[in-house]
Structure 1
Amino acid sequence: MRRRHPLPDCWLVSDERSPVPAAVLAARLPPGSGVVLRHDGLAAGPRWRLFRRLARIAAARRLTLLLADEPARAKRWGADGVHLRQHRAGRAGQARRLDLAVTMPVHDAREARRARRAGADAVFVSPLHPTRSHPGAAPLGTAAWLRLARQARGDRAVALGGMTPARARALARAGMGSRIRPGWAAIDAWTEKAAKRRQRQKRNCVPT
């Protein structure tokens, strides 16, 4: 891998539907985690401002920040890497020339082969479990997830879809003995953690 440091094990994938702003969630991630900024529905100006806010948080908390976009924009904005959707797999070479880390989403065997050909540094394989972000999609389950991870990358794969810390630990146990060191990414798990924290803070503020 070109990068001086390996990509993180733990990730936040931004979602415009989340009731908690992405910057709030990023500020509560464990140090050394990663963030993938999607938010494709935002206009360029607001999306840039959100990215800059996330970049300040990333610098303070040693987070890796990826932009889901074109490599040129990721480089121009100062991202650590680019998250290439499948239809942009052909831009992986450009991203490497720009010294960007490259990640890609994988949902099936065809996409796994494309990510491998592109030489992605890591793949986000989903959905492992039922998830709100893929309504109606059949979950892969552990065996199929591991199979796609091997096809796509062989060692560096991140699980997405209904993930929690407990499920991440279970996946790591299932991957023992293989070359795969699974990472995990979430949307709802971080949102729920933030909601629980707010509830605790409210209880602590109730006068007695």
Structure 2
Amino acid sequence: MARCYSVPVPNRQPPCPSIRPNVWIVSDARNDAGLERALARLPRGSGLIFRHYHLPPGPRRARFETLARIARRHGHCVVLSGTPREARAWGADGVYGAAERLARGPAVLRLVTVHSLRELAKAHRARADVVLISPVFPTRSHPGAPALGPLRFRLLAARAQVPAIALGGMTMHRARAFGLRKWAAIQGLAESPTVLFPVHS
């Protein structure tokens, strides 16, 4: 018998429009094994951006539902990388992606990726609620690619009309060292969450 992966997520009142997390963990194949532990250790009211592009549709939906349950148990916001319509159908609190993909569709929380002033303008036109500006620091995902650095990040963030999240090579140490209160990471949050956040704050 074929296994059914698409168990519906119950409709619920999303917490994100009111809380706007400061700390986000971004999922992919590299940090998948540590996500349950990381979600349990993040400060209550943090956020999960679910990507998992490496999985085919059925297993991807199943993994989303597993992680979404854990995230909500700890009071976290759950955002899906996809389209606004998919986010609504999956029961996510919001959607993540480039402005072009998020410009249309139902009214859900929109987290838009931004790499330049031009893309920031596109994000505003796409009704972004939050922008993730990257890469702030060099990343393992794109070795050798130029990074913005903290100064250029701040200049872009100052032009944003919505909360701006620092993404790209971010770790707790860098966030504290450069005074970046709103930040997101892939491996920087999943590798040692017990050290980063020993108790919920």
Flag whether TM exceeds 0.5 (same fold).
Answer: yes
Determine which of 156, 165, 168 is the counterpart of 2:175.
Answer: 168
Contact 2:131 2:164 in 1 (8 A): yes
Unaligned runs of 5+ in 2: 1-14, 197-201
> Match for 1:44: what amino acid?
P
Runs of 4+, deviation exceeding 6 Å:
none
* Superposed CA RMSD: 2.3
Q: What is the letter of the counterpart of residue 183 of structure 1?
A: K
Query: 1:3 and 1:165 mapped to 2: Cα distance?
Result: 22
Q: Could you tell me the TM-score, scaled by structure 1's length?
A: 0.78
Residue in 1 that maps onto 2:4 = none
Distance in structure 1 (CA, Å) of the matches to 2:17 and 2:24: 19
Alignment map for 1:112-123 (pairs within 5 Å):
112-123=120-131
Residue 102 of structure 1 is matched in structure 2 by 110
CA deviations on 1:9-68 (whole Å, 9 max, x unpaired) are: 000001213363433432332221100001122111111111111121122100000000
Question: 2-side partners of 1:103 and 1:48: how far apart?
Answer: 20
2-structure distance, mates of 1:85, 1:35: 17
Partner secondary structure for residue 73 of structure 2: helix
Q: CA deviation at 1:195?
A: 9.0
Distance 1:106-1:195 versus aligned 2 partners, 3 A rule: same
Matched residue type, 1:131: T
The counterpart of 1:68, out of the listed 78, 81, 85, is 81
**% identical equivalent positions:** 42
Unmatched runs of 5 consecutive residues or more in structure 1:
174-181, 198-208
Equivalent in the alignment of 1:9: 22
Separation in 1, partners of 2:74, 2:165:
21
Distance 1:77 1:89, change over 3 A: closer
Higher-helix-fraction structure: 1
Is the partner of 2:25 in helix, strand or coil?
A: strand
Over alpha carbons, which structure has the higher Rg? 1
Which letter does structure 2 place at the counterpart of 1:111? E
Say which structure, 1 or 2, has more relative contact order (CA 8 Å, 6+ apart).
2
Q: Distance in 1 between matches of 2:150 and 2:163?
A: 16
Q: Which residue of 2 aligns with 1:135?
A: 143
Count of aligned positions: 182
